[in-house]
Amino acid sequence: MSWIWNPNGDTPKPPVEDNLVQDPSDPNRMVSRKAANQPFLAHRQYRERLEQEHQAWLQRKREREEKLAKGEKVGPEEEDPTAEQEVGLLGLLKFIVYLLLAVLIAGKFFTGSFLWEYEGKWARLKTYWPESSGRLFSETYLATFDGTDSTKPLYLAIDGDVFDVSSNRRTYGPGGPYHHMAGVDAARSFATGCFATHRTHDLRGLTEDELRGVEHWKTFFTDHKTYFKAGKVQHHPIDPSSPIPKHCDPKREQKSHPPAGDTDPVPHSKSSSERSTREEL
């Protein structure tokens, strides 16, 4: 397709001698200074400049060593200006900081939120600096955080762990559907579903499934994006001879704890209303 560039059919002129330079990759070859060769030629000039600076540094280094040998005073040793600098720990930290800033700015630009609209608990400072996370409550003192006093946080406890649920006063505060859980360790009610009558930490007589339910709810409150652990509650010892709290649903209690001589307990299925109630927590 040479006719496109040379429609008249003129014989291309050989490159002018003054327009030729040595090939950076082959000293025995000459190349032109055309635009396609400029990046390679520029790199060659860069390498030549580095070599000159390195030789100059070597000369200064030899002169310094000669002065030291004569006992003359010299300045601090000069580093090789052409040596490649290692990244190092500080450089790595700077890179991470710049990368995080770029991600935050991009999130603000694309979503309007520096955290890309993430609102989980890991985006909240209270997760890393919780208030009074090692606080020890008595049962009487915990009861004062039931939401009655609006100036105080709203706490509930489950199996000894106290959680701040102040962000959901509509549910756990006065007039809320689960206000009876506030200010008390009602661990047993989380296992049995008897939220009104099992407001106690007494877990005696529960089945393995019910105990797993208690652990499930502890994990739920621990990992919740707006609830935070506030400390622990110290309970009075439970008298082993005291009666075990009765289940609010005798039929369910009979299925969970069959009389002696019966076969393995038949798993009970929760009603749809009960499942929806517990999922609202």
Fold of the 125-239 domain: Flavocytochrome B2; Chain A, domain 1 (3.10.120)
- Residues contacting 252, CB < 8 A, separation 6+: 192, 268
3-state SS class at 261: coil
Q: For 97-156, how does the pLDDT look when each residue is reduced to its tens digit (9 = 90+)?
A: 999 999 989 988 888 888 887 766 666 666 666 555 578 999 999 999 999 999 999 999
Q: Return d(Cα 58, Cα 53) in angstroms, integer.
A: 9
Highest mean pLDDT among 84-88, 255-259, 277-281 belongs to 84-88
- What's the pLDDT band for 2 if we cut at 50, 70, 90? low
Q: Return d(Cα 281, Cα 172) in angstroms, integer.
A: 9
Judged against a pLDDT cut of 70, whether residue 238 lies above it is answered with yes
Q: Return the domain boundaries, the chain.
A: 18-75, 88-116, 125-239
| H helical segments located in the chain | 2-5, 38-69, 88-111, 125-128, 139-142, 169-172, 187-192, 208-223, 250-256, 272-279
Give the pLDDT of residue 274. 42
pTM for the structure as a whole: 0.51
